[in-house]
Amino acid sequence: MKKLEKRIDELKKFKTSNLYQKDFLLTWEKSEDDLKAIMEVADILKGLREKNVSSKIFDSGLAVSIFRDNSTRTRFSYASACNLLGLEVQDMDEQKSQISHGETVRETAQMISFLTDFIGIRDDMFLGEGNKYMREVGASLDEGFKEGVLPVRPGIVNLQCDMDHPTQSMSDLLHLRNHYGSLEALKGKKIVMSWAYSPSYGKPLSVPQGIIGLMSRFGMDIELAYPEGYELIPEIVDIAKKNSKNSGGSFKVSNSMEESMRNADIVYPKSWAPFKVMQQRTQLLQKADKQGLADLEKQCLAQNANHMDWEYNAKMAVSTKNSDALYMHCLPADISGVSCKHGEVSAEVFEKYRLDTYREAGYKPYIIAAMMLTNRFANPTEVLKAIAKRGATRVNF
């Protein structure tokens, strides 16, 4: 506890004005201090949990979740984070709401927020729409709070959109920080964000974009690898390039998975759909064109099949640093011979790093809780000090 108390006190060195009462939508909108503070608060909350100390700071209140796409890890991480802080989760099922009867986003945002402290949103299906939707919800909440309709303005946490997956990339960064000992130790480390073969199509761009958009802030040498035609959103790639230049790192694009892996310290083989395909898919989804979507899927699966050699396996791993680069994945991975016939990663390699990927995922509830705590409280140091001093035990036996 003394070590935790010391870390809590050291939080004061971070200037976090862009966290208090601000939504967490994109990592590149936050300062370096903001990002460091989120990770430190998350690690402290994790430490308190491991010490059996209750971190409940809310006596009541809702945390609404809006998942417009399927989820396991992020859905349960959000629920876990809310419970950790004392909030009850209410999932908004759009099929059971009045949205189908013409209820507007502006009206829905008000109706779900009367006793709500946070809204977590996953909206990654429609390119150009997901982050926009979150901001539309936010604008409505601003109005409701300003006009006295809402007693508090609920904070919004981006649980994945078309542009970024900040709770995932922040969990990944905290995993790397703790694995290597510090953020300073990440400088000069080579991380390869690589496309990998998948027998499915339409996987969002937000994970690779989130990784290059965040890791480029901390002086890492980033290599983005994909077959020709599998580009990401150009504007976000430009952000990563600019970040790398500012942080003293480097940024490179490669069209060879095998070449990109040479001397890599960290590898992140993950499938995604091409930027142009996601643009087409969005248009077809908006038109509810089932035949068009079926035709596009057929074309894309055939295109993916041309790159089945983009599998991370023991042969690829040999060329990495000490033949033992840290393997990362947001999960679930497409594991060759396990979850599919041919996939992103061989069963042998995945099994070697399987527990590491679980540890990586295990940071997400704490990252989300940290985003909430710093949104609600201007002085997270004092709040965490009070939690530690209170010393309420979570389990009594």
Listed in sequence order, the residues at least 6 apart from 306 whose beta carbon sits closer than 8 Å to its beta carbon are 227
Q: 165 — phi, psi (to 5°)?
A: -130, 75
Report the percentage of the chain scoring pLDDT > 90.
93
DSSP state of 87: P
Average pLDDT over residues 303-329: 97
pLDDT at position 137: 97
The pLDDT mean for the chain works out to: 95
Let me know the angle formed at the C-alpha of 96 by 85 and 117, rounded to the nearest 5 degrees: 25
pLDDT at position 17: 78
pLDDT at position 15: 87
Query: In the chain, which ranges are continuous DSSP H helix?
Result: 2-10, 32-50, 73-85, 105-111, 130-146, 166-180, 206-215, 234-247, 257-260, 275-287, 290-305, 314-318, 347-362, 364-376, 380-390
Prior bond of 380 cis (ω within 30°): no
Average pLDDT over residues 7-16: 92
Q: Work out the pLDDT band at 119, boundaries 50, 70, 90.
A: very high
Question: What pLDDT digit, counting tens, does each position of 104-118 carry?
Answer: 999 999 999 999 999
* The two three-digit tokens of residue 128, written as one number: 């150009």
Question: What pLDDT digit, counting tens, does each position of 223-243 carry?
Answer: 999 999 999 999 999 999 999
Question: What pLDDT digit, counting tens, does each position of 132-168 carry?
Answer: 999 999 999 999 999 999 999 999 999 999 999 999 9
The full set of domains in the chain, from first to last, is 2-164+364-390 (3.40.50.1370), 166-361 (3.40.50.1370)
List the end-to-end C-alpha distance of the chain, in Å, as a whole number. 20
Let me know the angle formed at the C-alpha of 43 by 42 and 45, rounded to the nearest 5 degrees: 65
Rounded to whole angstroms, how far apart are CA atoms 34 and 30? 6
Q: Work out the pLDDT band at 101, boundaries 50, 70, 90.
A: low
CB 18 within 8 A of CB 375: no
**Amino acid residing at 229:** G
Question: What pLDDT digit, counting tens, does each position of 346-394 carry?
Answer: 999 999 999 999 999 999 999 999 999 999 999 999 999 999 999 999 9
